Amino acid sequence: VSFTGSTRVGKMTMAAAANSLKKVSMELGGKNGQIVFPDADLEAAADAAVFGGFFNAGECCNAGSRLIVHEAIADDFLAAVKALTAKVAVGDPLDIRTKVGAMISSDHLAKVTDYIAAAASDGVRIYSGGGQLPSNAG
Catalytic residues: 27, 61
* Distant-in-sequence contacts of 81-85, Cβ < 8 A, 24+ apart: 81/46, 81/49, 81/50, 81/127, 82/127, 82/128, 83/46, 84/46, 84/47, 84/50, 85/50, 85/54, 85/127, 85/128, 85/129
Give whole-number Cα distances, 110 to 2, 77, 106, 115, in Å: 31, 30, 6, 9
